[in-house]
Structure 1
């Protein structure tokens, strides 16, 4: 599951706190209709393209956890490419295991997503201890109902069907903000992010009550509008398990900037603390 760190908030992705179990949420929450294009456009207009640096560290480890420490950095960039959104995530992480071994993981994950949410390109390159561990590359297309196909060129050529209702990561982030703004806190979506060749994931999201940005005394980019605590639970698409593969929590501003994040793998958690934020230009398109 450690490779899922490469999918962080492409779907802020990928991170948040509410006292509702993910399994109960999946059982009790119907899949809602897609947000209206007008409300999504209003949400997208507030997005601030940016580059952020996060310090990553072990949050907690339960008894019996195999991981005893995590240290590193993540760079996350969300840019406006006129007809689409681009994201880039770079991880440099070192995992120390309880038996004494360690592992260095470097990941570069780049995407382009059409602003209409119907086309998507992805490229992932993962190194473990300096050696190439995995490459994933391809593109995906959706119809208006969210059904579509993904074509992989790496690790090997294959075509994958995407079920109706599928969303790509940036569209999902905008949907989170849209639901939060409209005080519709619970929803479930099928997300395809291309971070591996295993296909879509079912993501249950809970948005908490809005508040002022917590970091209001720092960078002006963090003083904008509302912020929400968000929690997402990630399930394999065909799984009947009530337990998610992992969960992600974050504090998300209405301009799309994440103030803080936590990834919960069950037996240990990884924290991401914002160290530096830089505004990128809007395209004006």
Structure 2
């Protein structure tokens, strides 16, 4: 159950992404918005008999500006009941920073399952010409290089929004977020639906009631994540997982659906707060 309730930095950058601009008023009219979002997780369906129930929460904070870079803090606590008293509790915490140009990325990730010792990843990545240099401190010191075409999480969401605005329906990107053991790269396929007008009636949540969001259009988006190494060796394959959501043009997302192949989890926004952001001087 390596990917049990696994939500990488890249996925949550999509699920709750926001990029701080020079204050709330400016962010309301700009392309991105700094905020905190809380999502309540529940089991939608199970495709096997291995999952009877599931619940949890995701808390996500994103702050920063184009001068200082963007910082995200994320925590996901989940409980999975597989029947006969077998309950798995997972606790994933991460903290990351990325500069506005997508050249530098730092990350710390901690994963705990039940009472087992926490697994930790700590590292950084620097873009240098046509490649990316990665330095890991944990789980073990290691340096390696990646293809320079790979993007970090904030650039990923920037490119998805840009593609949506251009009317594109498909976008392929390779993404590095430091998840798993710090060495994994995912190939992603993003499917973008037709824009949803701001005035279209929809199920309500704290984001739809917020004044910063009422005038914004959004897109239905599905991002599928593939194991890059396995795909290169074996060709076509089933996604490791996929996420569907509605993406606002300022980067905020709602109505999450996490598909882990064996089971599907929904994430309803339970709380949404716009955050002040230091002006970029």
TM-score bin (small chain): 0.7 to 0.9
Q: Provide closer, same or farther for how the CA distance between residues 278 and 160 of structure 1 changes in structure 2, counting only shifts above 3 A.
A: same
Q: Provide closer, same or farther for how the CA distance between residues 102 and 173 of structure 1 changes in structure 2, counting only shifts above 3 A.
A: same
Q: Provide closer, same or farther for how the CA distance between residues 273 and 58 of structure 1 changes in structure 2, counting only shifts above 3 A.
A: same
Q: What is the TM-score with the length of structure 2 in the denominator? A: 0.84
Corresponding residue number in structure 2 for 1:5: 7
- Counterpart contact for 1:6–1:91, Cα < 8 Å: no
Corresponding residue number in structure 1 for 2:245: 250
Matches within 5 A, 1:43-192: 45-62=30-47, 64-81=48-65, 82-145=67-130, 147-192=131-176
Matches within 5 A, 1:195-234: 195-197=179-181, 198-213=183-198, 214=202, 215=204, 218-234=209-225
Provide the C-alpha distance between the structure 2 equivalents of 1:217 and 1:187, rounded to a whole number of angstroms: 27
Does residue 235 in structure 1 map to residue 219 in structure 2?
Answer: no
Segments of structure 1 that go 5 or more residues without pairing to the other structure are: 15-41
Provide the C-alpha distance between the structure 2 equivalents of 1:67 and 1:150, rounded to a whole number of angstroms: 37
Q: Provide closer, same or farther for how the CA distance between residues 223 and 132 of structure 1 changes in structure 2, counting only shifts above 3 A.
A: farther
- In the TM superposition, residue 11 of structure 1 has moved relative to its aligned partner by 3.6
Q: Provide closer, same or farther for how the CA distance between residues 222 and 99 of structure 1 changes in structure 2, counting only shifts above 3 A.
A: farther
> What is the root-mean-square deviation of aligned Cα atoms in Å?
2.1
Provide the C-alpha distance between the structure 2 equivalents of 1:129 and 1:154, rounded to a whole number of angstroms: 21
Q: What is the TM-score with the length of structure 1 in the denominator? A: 0.83
Provide the C-alpha distance between the structure 2 equivalents of 1:242 and 1:196, rounded to a whole number of angstroms: 19
Query: Secondary structure of the equivalent of 2:209?
Result: coil
- In the TM superposition, residue 8 of structure 1 has moved relative to its aligned partner by 6.0
- Counterpart contact for 2:193–2:221, Cα < 8 Å: yes
- In the TM superposition, residue 6 of structure 1 has moved relative to its aligned partner by 4.0
